[in-house]
Amino acid sequence: MSSGTMNAETIKAEIEAAVPGCHVELVLNGSSSAQHSLVIDNEHALQVARYLRDDSALRLDFCSNVTGVDWLDAEVSETVKTKKLVDGVEQEVSEVRKTRTPGRLEAVYHLFSMEKKHGPVILRLRTADRAGGTTVPSLTPVWRSAEFQEREAFDLYGIVFAGHPDLRRLLMWEGFVDHPMRKDYLPPEENEDGDGRDQR
Amino acid sequence: MMLEAASIERTTEERTPVEAAELSASPENGQLLELSMGPHHPSTHGVFRMNVQLEGERVMRLKPVFGYLHRNHEQIAEKVSYLASIPYTDRLDYLCSMTNNWAYALTVEKLAGLAVPERAEYIRVITAELTRLQNHASLIGFLLQDMGASGTPLMYAFREREKILDLFESLSGARMMCNYMRFGGVRVDLPPQWVERAQALVGGFPRFLDEFERLLMGNEILMGRTQGVGVLPRELAINAGITGPMLRASGVNYDIRKVDGYGIYGRFKFRVPLGEHGDVYDRYMMRVLEMRESVGILKQALGEIPGGPIIDAKARLRGLRPKAGEAYGRIESPKGELGFFLISDGSTNPYRYRVRPPSLINLTVLEDMCLGRNVADVVVILGSVDIVLGEVDR
């Protein structure tokens, strides 16, 4: 395959050199596709996008796929053995420790280059949480192809794309309130019309 | 080898926005009329609405409205096993179930690391190129129907399409909803005499194309209605993520069959036709020229197809549990880049299932192409995009 995934680590270093102060995190992909992705901090996302599009070696002029992903709050429990004093005698006790990763929404961008014929380079923008802070910057000013796809992610996931020229629902009707692709979305019994909420 | 830009001769001058419209409605004596074209307009080929603002006949603003066929395909697919989504992918672009199957199977194979046997790869190329032939033939028929050529071109196109659907039926049991490909191969082997029948069809196809070209190529009305209409500049096409024949009509040499060489496309000799003007005429010509290239690929593939297994023996179809991770796979479907993005959490159904629909994304520039044109041109411009609402709305 001529257009394998480009070396994500190299691109990470290039972005960090080109956009000072930008925080880039490499997300490794354990599947056999080995398509690793880069998490870009929201503050520098537009600058990074412009750099990736305009850099003469990268020329990622084609933003192919834009979509949302919903990550729920996750609780990871691990059993840890510790030594404790029980009735004055030191004993080994196993304890369950729980670590919580807060839920968030993610916007994923698959970038290719029509000029250089390489790709994909995968960008991820993350929201602060799933309730109040669901804003990420819109990359539509850099790639028009994101226009409808960001609207779709706004519609179905509730990701607010700041700076999008026309952020309206794309597939659900006006007046619908929920975001049906969220993992905790429950369809109401009666949803023929109205706001999509249970009418009973 | 690439084809240099297809030489397309012009016999009529480029038209400017209709003068009659400019005369009848200027901001002083006219007023803006808001009109909903669709969702039940014959030219929209489904349920699609365009909110148009008109000054006389001239389009001042055009906003597409989607969702009439939305059934949340992606959510349904996230709730069932990997295998169970294959029949549902048939219903995305319901004219091209074979290529939809392929794009999905290809992505799952990337995710789970499955190999595809030689014979299955050949069958995939053959069915995909047959799909391209019938898609492009129908598109041309529909486009001419939209221009007022009632009946004849569409009937000619459908006559050829029926022959291809007969082949699909004898292969998969269904004419349109083929549900044919599987992870690591295809579902059933070719029936006896199938290759010979396909060869006969492919051998006779250029005759249909010649006939079609004689009927239409020098047609004054066709040129008048399409040349210089709905021009899409090269830079805008790239920035707006336009793919498929529509992109190549604007002169961008980008065909995923060449760029990725997925499957075994690297082995076949074919050219990528390119347009010069990016107008409706060039988009129409791209389909005509691509059909000729597809015929070439089919002749090679049907002649070379080897024996052997049709599915990877290690592929587990039911209860497939790919390792946690993600994959984006894409193919050159007849309408453009059809992509699937899958995230696995190690369970039996995908955590995230996303379809990258070329039909939807190619509509991004619909307004840009229609501004300043009249209403009748909107119908032709939309027709030249080649959309199927099953894929637009999902």
Q: Tell me the torsion sign for CA atoms A13, A15, A21, A25.
A: negative
| Residue of chain A with shortest Cα separation from B110 | A33
Helix (H, G, I), strand (E, B), or coil: what is residue A104?
strand
Distance from CA of A67 to the nearest CA of B (A): 7
- The CA-based dihedral angle spanning residues B331, B336, B338, B339, taken in that order and rounded to the nearest 10 degrees: 80
Q: Is the ipTM of this complex over 0.95?
A: no
Helix (H, G, I), strand (E, B), or coil: what is residue A23?
coil
Inter-chain CB proximity A122 and B328 less than 8 Å: yes
Band of pLDDT at residue A31, cut at 50, 70 and 90? confident
Q: Tell me the torsion sign for CA atoms B73, B74, B79, B85.
A: positive
Mean pLDDT for A89-96 is 78
| pLDDT recorded at residue A193 | 59
Distance from CA of B166 to the nearest CA of A (A): 34
Is residue A1's pLDDT more than 60?
Answer: no
Chain B partners within 8 Å of A179 (Cβ) = none
| pLDDT recorded at residue A200 | 46
B324-340 residue pLDDT tens: 889 999 999 999 999 99
Cα distances (Å, whole numbers) of residue B32 to B16, B20, B367: 21, 16, 17
Helix (H) or strand (E) holding A26: strand A24-27
* Contact between residue B362 and residue B387 where contact means Cβ atoms under 8 Å apart: yes
| pLDDT recorded at residue B203 | 92
Structure tokens at B24: 């009848």
Inter-chain CB proximity A67 and B322 less than 8 Å: no
Residues 6+ apart with CB under 8 A from B231: B277, B278, B279, B369
Chain A, residues 47-106, CB within 8 A of chain B, namely 61-65, 67, 69
Chain A partners within 8 Å of B110 (Cβ) = 31-33
- Tens digits of pLDDT across chain B (394 residues): 344 443 333 333 443 444 444 444 455 556 788 888 878 777 777 788 888 888 888 888 899 999 888 999 999 999 999 999 999 999 998 889 999 999 999 999 999 888 899 999 999 999 999 999 999 999 988 888 888 878 788 888 888 899 999 999 999 999 999 999 999 889 999 999 999 999 999 999 999 888 888 877 778 888 888 888 889 999 999 999 999 999 999 999 999 999 988 989 989 999 999 999 999 999 988 998 999 999 999 999 999 899 888 888 877 778 888 888 899 999 999 999 999 999 998 889 999 999 999 999 999 999 999 988 898 889 899 989 988 888 998 8
b (16+ CB within 10 A) / e for B362-372: bbbbbebbbee
| pLDDT recorded at residue A30 | 81
Inter-chain CB proximity A180 and B328 less than 8 Å: no
Inter-chain CB proximity B364 and A145 less than 8 Å: yes
Q: Which of A62, A67, A170 sits opposite B341 (nearest CB)?
A: A67
Q: Please tell me the pTM assigned to this model.
A: 0.85
| pLDDT recorded at residue B8 | 39
3-state secondary structure A134-156: CEEECCCCCCCCHHHHHHHHHHH
| Residue of chain A with shortest Cα separation from B258 | A2
| pLDDT recorded at residue A73 | 82
Band of pLDDT at residue A101, cut at 50, 70 and 90? confident
Inter-chain CB proximity B341 and A29 less than 8 Å: no
3-state secondary structure B1-61: CCCCCCCCCCCCCCCCCCHHHHHHCCCCCCCEEEEEECCCCHHHCCCCEEEEEEECCEEEE
Inter-chain CB proximity A30 and B323 less than 8 Å: yes
Mean pLDDT of chain A: 84
Backbone angles phi, psi at B239, to 5 degrees: -65, -35
Band of pLDDT at residue A83, cut at 50, 70 and 90? confident
A111-142 residue pLDDT tens: 999 988 887 899 999 998 888 888 999 999 99
Chain A partners within 8 Å of B112 (Cβ) = 31-32
Nearest-angstrom CA–CA distance, B17 and B23: 11
Higher pLDDT, A145 or B42: A145
CB atoms within 10 A of CB B274: 22
Q: Tell me the torsion sign for CA atoms A155, B365, A138, B333.
A: positive
| pLDDT recorded at residue B19 | 43
Is residue A150's pLDDT more than 90?
Answer: yes
Cα distances (Å, whole numbers) of residue A106 to A72, A129, A154, B339: 11, 10, 11, 19
Helix (H, G, I), strand (E, B), or coil: what is residue B63?
strand
Say which residue the tokens 């609405």 belong to: B49
Is residue A167's pLDDT more than 60?
Answer: yes
Instruction: Return the residue in A62, A143, A152, A182 with the most chain B beta carbons within 10 A, the one to mutate for interface testing.
Output: A62
What DSSP state is assigned to residue B267? G
| pLDDT recorded at residue A195 | 65
Cα B58 to chain centroid, rounded: 29
| pLDDT recorded at residue B29 | 52
Q: Which of B238, B323, B361 sits opposite A148 (nearest CB)?
A: B361
